Amino acid sequence: MGGEAVFTLEGLAEALVIGAVVVLLAIVGVRFAGRLGLPGLLLYLGIGLLLGNITTRLPFGPTVGPLDPQLATVLGYAALIIILAQGGLTTRWSQLRPVLGPSIALATVGVAVSVTVVALPLIWLTGMDPQLAVLLSAVLAATDAAAVFSVLRRVSILPRLRTLLEGEAGLNDAPVVVLVGVVAAGALDAEPWLIPIFVAGELIGGGIIGVLVGLGTRWLLPRLALPAVGLYPIAVLTPIVAAYGIADLVHVSGFIAVYLAAVIVGSSSALPHQRAVKGFSDGLAWVAEIGLFIMLGLLVDVSRLPAAIGIALVAAVLLLLVGRPLSAVVSLVPFRWPARCIAFVSVTGLRGAVPIVFAAIPLGLAMPGAQIVFDATFIVVLILTLVQTPILPALARRLGVSVAQSAGELDVDSAPLDGVNAVMLGLSIPPDSKLVGVFVREIGLPQPAAVSLVVRDGSTLVPDSETRLRAGDQIVVVTTPQERETTERRLRALSRQGRLAVWRGDAGDEDD
């Protein structure tokens, strides 16, 4: 599976240079790929393919070519944990709660429907071994968190619909991992009735651990006054990542634990230095995503792909035209979702790195026929990425599920003040905010909150009651922990409705 790696200090330097060049190429290349209408995820896979199948040896020693599938699976899981953590931190619990039931239905019932609809025709039409057909159908049933988070957040669709798809991507790994493990171990024929029990146990157990870790982290962080802002992102991500390990140790879903813990922590209005935390996690997730897709490209042997094209085409057609639409209908109709939303979900079961990572599991187990499953999965992911991603903006407009971005929303950051029972809120006033033109005396913050500083055009000033706010101003508000939420609600209401926010019925709630 590749030559033995011999690392030296000189080799480390060369590896860092090559790694930096690859990452920079990926970052710059994704911008141009977007202009050409190509998904960035496809570019990352292409870089991995080039590295693995054109270059023969890296200067620092190890052979470039097919990686060890077990190593690829471990690294893939690590990257997925970071990506799920970032997605959860940027999802509000108030958004996820109303769609939790439909998300779970898509992640369980939808997976079962998709596996059945794709596996049976594969067996009948291609003569594929039943065990391999079920395995291929199972890995293809998992939507990809990296693809969903990176693609859908650049498409302006109904927030409820986007959160549904993100929730599905965060939850459907558990049933798919269980099914892949059972099928790869050859235990499908023995006691198949145990699979739903295992899946339910994984979901419930992982969910409980995620909620406990999230609530504990949410309680602890506002009570810390760390000496450097850069420590807060680490303090946030460490327990979230640990949630995976805790869950895995008790044999429940670590992916669900990570996602729910991150949602609970990220939804806290008292989370210190939210911009720093979410900015750090976003950058880390990008690096994980780039590395994950490049690594999976390295895992592919191009010379073996032609043998899997026929099976891959049949699987892609079945999944795109039958499996995914039927899964969406069966899962969402009982929850009375509108037909236009179901139609959009039917097309947006985005596949990416997750199916390829799961397809590497039987490779690592040296299961007979696992190579054809992996190669077919890779081809299907390429096909669906090319077909699905470019049409989403136009499809959203056509189905009437696209929305304009709401104006006047404030991004409020906070930090605890060491040794003082106070919280500092920092916010920038966007040009379309109705805070523009408001006098400080008109803001009406609850006592004892006060606007203590205004940064304007690079200069600072201490405001008085007659200071008038302008677009682009950055203001600092000091309040107590007890009045923090009321202060934020008042600022949000003013930003959306101006001086008459109360009369217009805007209570300052966060947009769901």
Lowest mean pLDDT among 151-155, 191-195, 221-225: 191-195
- Regarding whether 427 and 389 lie in a shared domain, the answer is no
Task: Give the dihedral of Cα atoms 115, 324, 43, 87; nearest 10 deg.
Answer: -90
Are 395 and 479 part of one and the same domain? no
Instruction: Determine the pLDDT at residue 187.
Output: 61
Question: Interhelix angle for 370-388 vs 130-140, to 10°?
Answer: 30
Those residues with Cβ within 8 angstroms of residue 238's Cβ, 6 or more apart along the chain or in another chain: none
The continuous run of DSSP H or E covering 63 comes out as: none
Least confident window among 47-51, 382-386, 387-391, 396-400: 47-51
pLDDT per position as a tens digit, 280-319: 888 888 888 888 877 777 778 788 889 999 999 999 999 9
Q: How far apart are CA 188 and CA 194, in angstroms?
A: 9
pLDDT in the model for residue 291: 81
Alpha-carbon torsion (112, 380, 165, 292), positive or negative: positive
Q: What pLDDT, on a 0 to 100 scale, did the predictor assign at position 275? A: 78
Q: At residue 113, what is the residue type?
A: V
Distances (CA, A) of 455 to 32, 119, 433, 469, 493: 36, 61, 17, 10, 22
Task: Show the tokens assigned to 340.
Answer: 């236009």
What 3 state SS string does 429-468 have?
A: CCCCCCCCCCEHHHHCCCCCCEEEEEEECCEEECCCCCCE
In a domain, 30, yes or no: no
Residue 453 forms beta bridges with which residues? Answer: 476
From CA 72, how far away is CA 171, in angstroms rounded? 22
- DSSP three-state, residue 382: helix
- Give residue 138's pLDDT band: very low, low, confident or very high (50, 70, 90): very high
Same domain for 431 and 382, yes or no, is no
Can you tell me the distance from the alpha carbon of 396 to that of 415, in angstroms, rounded to the nearest whole number? 38
Q: How many domains does the chain have?
A: 2
Amino acid found at 143: T
Tokens 């590395």, residue? 291
Range of the domain at 416: 412-500
| pLDDT tens figures, 213-227 | 999 999 998 887 777
- Is 158 within a domain? yes
What letters, b where the CB count within 10 A reaches 16 and e where it falls short, cover 314-332?
Answer: bbbebbbeebbbbbbbbbb
Angle formed by the axes of helices 339-347 and 324-332, nearest 10°: 140
Domain match, 299 and 423 both: no
Q: Are residues 138 and 241 in the same domain?
A: yes
Judge whether 3 lies within some domain: no
In a domain, 510, yes or no: no
Least confident of 111-120, 142-151, 207-216, 460-469: 142-151
Q: State yes or no: pLDDT of 57 exceeds 60.
A: no
Whether 385 and 495 map to the same domain: the answer is no
CA pair distance 394, 391, nearest whole angstrom: 6
Locate 229 and state its tokens: 């802002």
**For residues 104-109, average pLDDT:** 92
- Domain end point (choices 366, 399, 432): 399
Evaluate whether residue 404 is within a structural domain: no
The yes-or-no verdict on residue 64 having pLDDT over 50 is no
Q: Decide which of 365, 399, 433 is a domain's last residue.
A: 399
Q: Does 508 map to a domain?
A: no
CA distances from residue 182 to 134, 158, 191, 290, 305 in whole angstroms, order as listed: 11, 37, 10, 30, 26
- What is the side-by-side order of every strand in the sheet holding 423-428? 412-416, 423-428, 474-479, 450-456, 459-461
Helix (H) or strand (E) holding 304: none
Cα angle 106, 112, 118 (rounded to 5 degrees) comes to 110
User: Which stretches of 267-305 are DSSP H helices?
Assistant: 274-299
Could you give the count of Cα atoms lying within 13 Å of 496 in the half-sphere of its Cβ? 21
Q: Does one domain contain both 332 and 447?
A: no
Are 371 and 227 contained in the same domain? Answer: yes
- Please indicate, yes or no, if residue 441 is contained in any of the structural domains: yes
Q: For residue 124, what are the CA distances in angstroms to 144, 311, 314, 325, 495? A: 28, 12, 11, 21, 60
CATH code, domain with 218: 1.20.1530.20
The answer on 429 and 380 residing in a single domain is: no
The per-residue pLDDT for range 239-263, each reduced to its tens digit, is 999 999 999 999 888 989 999 999 9
Q: Are residues 432 and 340 both part of a single domain?
A: no
Indicate whether 422 and 495 sit together in one domain.
yes
Instruction: Answer yes or no: is 489 within a domain.
Output: yes
Report in angstroms the alpha-carbon separations of 481 from 220, 409, 415, 448. Answer: 14, 22, 11, 11
**Average pLDDT along the chain:** 81
Q: Do residues 339 and 484 both lie within one domain? A: no
pLDDT at 328 over 70: yes
CATH number at residue 481: 3.30.70.1450
In the listed set 337, 370, 399, which residue is the last one of a domain according to the structure? 399
